[in-house]
Amino acid sequence: MKFIPIKINIGFFITSALIGFLNSFSLIGTIIWMVMIFVSVLVHEYGHAITAKIFGQHPRIELIAFGGVTIPEGRKLKTWEEFLVVFMGPFFGFILFVVATLILQLPFHNDFFRSILQIFRFVNLFWTVINLLPILPLDGGQLVRVVLEAFLKHKAWKVSLYISLVASVLFSLLLFLIGFFLAGAVFLIFTFQNLEALRYTRNYCEPDQSECNRIALNEIENLLKLNDYINAIPKLIFLIKKTKEGLIHVAASEYLAKIYFEKREYKNAYDLLNKIEKFISKESKSILYLSAYEMCDYERVVALSGLCFQEKQTIEVAFIAAASNAMLNNLHKSIEWLKRVKSFEKVDLLHLIKDNAFDLIRNEEEFKGFIDRL
């Protein structure tokens, strides 16, 4: 069996040192805790990695701030294979608990070593139990997802997130009530992560389950990294038509819209993003914002102006908002946006408002007063 690569992030040492110090308040104790955490987490991840290796994948291990992660690469596993890969992590941790328990039965009189073994035994039992809770990203949450996928297909991920959200909220409250504030805060973080994941997966559909579609998107992304638009564009158009909905469909549409926008094909970019506006990223909403202005869809521009300016505070974004409001005869809002334009340094606002977009409000007293004060 070939070597399984391991990468250790500096955050892993910082977190394990903090946990060690809070449990010992001494340098020696901190080092001992760091070693125990390192061994426990590494053996846990080896449980995942070795099993994945047996099933023909090429896993790699990363030790990060709050534990570790095994990243599998290679063929897609069957449901029962994926279940075993996930399950073997906690199982290897439980084996460490059993080994420590058996060693403690041996007749030895070194109290210091015995106390370390007792802590090591408790840590691995505690982490095994916690890790099997039905909360993502813990292994218990992953096991729920794998089992649900056998029955619910593409809906399994969303259902498992709802289960995880409820469980993380309840467990976090329980930990806070019994005084385990640090652990409670960790599970509160899981709660927010699950909320964000639910927001992201609200458009998760059956086409996203297709390995073929995922491979196609990955190939396109590689072409885009090389700026190979000639080959990327037809592949994007085909993938968009093939998927029709879902995360892959949105991602492909965003990539293609960005290319169209850079080529100043504003109508194509607008048509693509306009259909899927509620699912697109903030960057794509900025592209839709600018394309909508070029297509004279001023109502769409006004609707997106606040979000786009918050994301990208530029003269262009503010001026387009002012001009669009002027075209809709929204005098007061147009002036408010012009004030934001004026707040930028070295802006010749008198020149900018000569644009025909302001003709509808140019003769209004409030607008004239604003110009006089410039």
> What pLDDT digit, counting tens, does each position of 225-248 carry?
999 999 999 999 999 999 998 889
% pLDDT > 90, the chain: 54
* Domain 205-295 part of CATH 1.10.3470: no
As a whole number of angstroms, the distance between CA 210 and CA 239 comes to 12
Summarised one tens digit per residue, pLDDT across range 70-102 is: 988 877 888 899 999 999 999 999 999 999 999
Confirm whether pTM is higher than 0.75. no
pLDDT for 2: 62
Show me where the domains of the chain are located. 1-132, 138-201, 205-295, 296-374
Q: Is 34 a residue whose pLDDT tops 70? A: yes
pLDDT for 1: 47
Q: How many residues does the chain have?
A: 374
